[in-house]
A and B are shown apart, each in its own frame.
Chain A
Amino acid sequence: MGLTAQSTGIGALKEMLDIKMNPVDDIVVALAGNPNTGKSTVFNSLTGLNQHTGNWTGKTVTTAQGNYRFKDKNFILVDLPGTYSLLSNSVEEEIARDFICFGNPGATVVVTDATCLERNLNLVLQILEITDKVVVCVNLMDEARRKKIQIDLNKLSELLGVPVVGTNARSGDGLEELMDAVYKVSANEISTEPVIIQYNSHTEEILQDIERKIKRYADDRINSRWVSLKLIDGEKTILNSINKYLGLDLAVQLNEEFENLRDQIVSSIVKLAESISSQVVYTQNQKHNELDRRIDDILTSKIFGIPAMIALLGVIFWITIEGANIPSDAIANVLFGIEDKLTKLFTIYNLPKWLHGVLVLGMYRTLAWVVSVMLPPMAIFFPLFTFLEDLGYLPRVAFNLDNFFKKACAHGKQALTMCMGFGCNAAGVIGCRIIDSPRERLIAVITNFFVPCNGRFPTLIAISTIFIAGTSSGKIQSVIAALTITIVIVLGVLMTLLASKILSKTVLKGIPSSFALELPPYRKPQIGRIIVRSIFDRTIFVLGRAVMVAAPAGLFIWIMANMNIKGISLLDHSAGFLEPFANLLGMDGYILMAFILGLPANEIVMPIIIMSYMAAGSMLELDNLEALRNLLISHGWTWLTAVNVMLFCLMHFPCATTLLTIRKETKSWKWTLVSFLVPTAAGITATFVVTQIVRLLGLV
């Protein structure tokens, strides 16, 4: 769930791809490394910023930058997406590669995972081929210690020919030393002598031949040995990047023979990594992964895997709903108490009635409703979800669900982008970059809206609590509500699969591409940080956005409700216009209008419905959920209405921010339109069918 001030909403649109190159005395430091090795955690610790971290591959898909000072210099740190190698496969790997190769950083820190050093060394060696200004950071030293893995850092440094620092990015151990090493490397105080990977004589021959030719064009601007290697590799995007950033016009004739050379090159690197690792890593306990395996035996087992997943989701919703009841009431009491005081104030100062209407009944009341209903569930749900993410559960979800996605001709990592959508669909859409194949990425983008984001959760929670579960009492009520929401989510997943399948059989025809998903070791979540971060970054931020949209919307609705044309308010006119269509879908004109007006932000759909009802007649004091229930019933809501509103909430047009993000990510209005139409069509169909069947059977 990648949701920060930067990655959500409008901020998400401002891609941070083009790094502002520094003025003369700043030093740019690139943070590279395999996925999930703690790059963002190092970044946060050094800069004091809050890039989101999570225990899964591909958490960061855009670059972020921040500053830190060390001694007399200012360093600009660039957090790159994780990559296994520099031979690009997907968009985010290309970003990382281009930055290291062409961004000309003063130093590159390669963050590696101490518990999986051998694989990580692959990338280290590849980076050493490009630049000698490298510091290797062996992170997760605490996890290694826990698993009784010892690493001889001095020996490693000797073998690699660059400084090596062991760190625990969470606690900050070793970061001082890391900054020192970066300082010295960038200032040329330590001269590094990176290992040179020797290829077999045949490869070397060809390599040197090409290198000679390259040197003529590229001068010293780029490591010509490296460029030659990449040319042999035949990777077109690398060639494009070389030409683009260095203003060259290179082209290669690809030989059949090169295909073999390429394997040769990779093998040499992998073998060197293997040999280095065997000299510096001591594993005392061969069974150090035993616990992880046992947990996985349950969480991904044939029998319990999927039920456990659904049960976990249900429990999270139950805790959220049960836990949110008390603070919700308390907050509502306080906020509506303030409303009374405000009203008194208006009477004392004899302010005009319309002003009271606009400000208090229109704006303030909507705000109070949004805050008291949305704040508590978000403050509980986000930390719980982040907990699972930090633990490393999300990749297991993708593992469990992959086969379904394969059958839908989609990518297994779509499950991960779905999980990000829980936070914010715009963030989910950006997260789709972890999917390499353009076809499958598009599918993931178009169907992302089928998972309800935090803007829609409160609506679902409120309706299921007061309506579906409303008649039962006490404890049972929250269980039924949680169950309802779980069903809604499962339905959303099924719709995602169905829509993906339909898309890949029609406009996005194709076969599933390759899939390789890393299942990282479980790591102990940082409880304290989770709570603080989810409250500040997510809850407050989302609430802020809701409040910003809700206030003007409240005003707008109040004005519409109080402007009369021929004795009927503007609001009623519009609702009346939508009524016939809405009726077919088992809703009413006000509801449909609320969804349309909710385009800027889905958070305000429920408040708009309530405001229109209140404005349209009975001015209810809405100080608890019971009153809300009565209000809805007095406007003709039945359980069918509630079901339809929940269905439509799950499936309608994405909010404006998401749409703009889709446009940005796909660079196409056509696919943006498709993303608009697909969930909308699904929602209209679903509500229509449900309504007609229920009515036909005479159930309401």
Chain B
Amino acid sequence: MKENIVSLDMIPCGKRAKVKELTSVGNLRRRMLDLGLIIGTIVESLRKSPSGDPTAYEIRGAVIALRSEEASKIMVELI
């Protein structure tokens, strides 16, 4: 099972994934939690910005753009 777990920024556009772990700490972690990103939340990767970063994700009905630095601190499992 472990092999299926990757960081959110590795998810290709159009794919959905389930949050397994947040590795960020402090304020960033809080921001992510505020957006409703908890373990079990389903996230869909929507599109990359013209220069490849940030990426827009659908999180609980809202579209949120995250930089790869943030997304790499969210471990997910592809579904």
Contacts and interface: CB of A to CB of B under 8 A. Distances in A.
A303 B59 CA distance: 26
Interface stretch (A263-271, A344-352, A498-506, A633-641): A263-271
Given A301-B50, A403-B53, A403-B54, A517 B65 contact: yes
B68 to A, nearest CB: 9
B54 A399 contact: yes
Interface hub of A259, A266, A296, A520 (most chain B Cβ within 10 A): A266
Contacts of A118: 36, 60-61
A404 B64 contact: no
Given A119-B62, A402-B49, A514-B28, 16 more contacts: A84-B34, A85-B30, A87-B30, A87-B34, A117-B61, A118-B60, A119-B61, A122-B34, A263-B29, A266-B34, A267-B38, A302-B52, A305-B50, A515-B54, A516-B65, A517-B54
A302 B47 CA distance: 10
Interface in B26-67: 27-36, 38-39, 41, 46-54, 56, 59-67
15 contacts: A85-B30, A89-B30, A116-B62, A117-B61, A118-B60, A122-B34, A259-B25, A296-B47, A305-B50, A403-B53, A412-B67, A512-B67, A516-B35, A518-B62, A520-B63
Interface string A45-69: 0000000000000000000000000
A512 B50 contact: no
A403 B52 CA distance: 8
Interface in A505-533: 512, 514-521
B49 A403 contact: yes
B34 A514 contact: no
A522 B31 CA distance: 24
Contacts of A465: none
Nearest to A265: B33
A266 B38 contact: yes
A293 interface: yes
A406 interface: yes
Interface in B8-29: 22, 25, 27-29
Q: Which 3 A-B pairs have the closest CB atoms?
A: A305-B50, A403-B51, A84-B34
Contacts of A297: 47
A400 B67 contact: no
A296 B59 CA distance: 17
Given A300-B47, A399-B56, A515 B66 contact: yes
A519 B36 contact: no
Contacts of B34: 84-85, 87, 89, 122, 266
B33 A263 contact: yes
Contacts of A273: 36
A274 B36 CA distance: 9
A402 B35 contact: no
B19 to A, nearest CB: 11
Interface of A: 84-85, 87, 89, 115-119, 122, 259, 263, 266-267, 270-271, 273-274, 293, 296-297, 300-303, 305-306, 399-400, 402-404, 406, 412, 436, 512, 514-521
Given A119-B35, A399-B65, A514-B28, A293 B46 contact: yes
Contacts of B56: 296, 300, 399, 519
B73 to A, nearest CB: 9
Contacts of A514: 27-28, 31, 67, 69-70
Nearest to B25: A259
Interface hub of A263, A305, A399 (most chain B Cβ within 10 A): A399
Nearest to A87: B30
Contact of A399 (B22, B25, B49): B49
Given A115-B61, A306-B50, A402-B49, A515 B39 contact: no
Contacts of A87: 30, 34
A456 to B, nearest CB: 28
B49 A300 contact: yes
B79 to A, nearest CB: 16
B67 A515 contact: yes
A519 B49 contact: no
Contacts of B70: 514-516
A406 B70 CA distance: 13
B18 to A, nearest CB: 14
A119 B60 contact: yes
B67 A406 contact: yes
Contacts of B27: 89, 436, 514
Given A89-B27, A297-B47, A412-B54, A402 B36 contact: no
Contacts of B53: 402-403, 406
Contacts of A517: 54, 64-65
Given A85-B34, A267-B38, A293-B46, A519 B65 contact: yes
B78 to A, nearest CB: 20
Nearest to A259: B25
Contacts of B25: 259
A153 to B, nearest CB: 18
B54 A270 contact: no
Contacts of A84: 34-35
A116 B49 CA distance: 23
A229 to B, nearest CB: 14
Contacts of A515: 54, 65-67, 70
A36 to B, nearest CB: 10
Contacts of B28: 514
A519 B31 contact: no
Contacts of A270: 33, 36, 38, 41
A350 B69 CA distance: 77
A118 to B, nearest CB: 5
A520 B54 CA distance: 16
Contacts of B62: 116, 119, 518
B50 A267 contact: no
Contacts of B64: 516-519
A516 B61 contact: no
A645 B33 CA distance: 50
B29 to A, nearest CB: 8
B16 to A, nearest CB: 13
A255 to B, nearest CB: 15
Interface hub of A270, A305, A402, A436 (most chain B Cβ within 10 A): A270
A302 B69 contact: no
Contacts of B22: 263
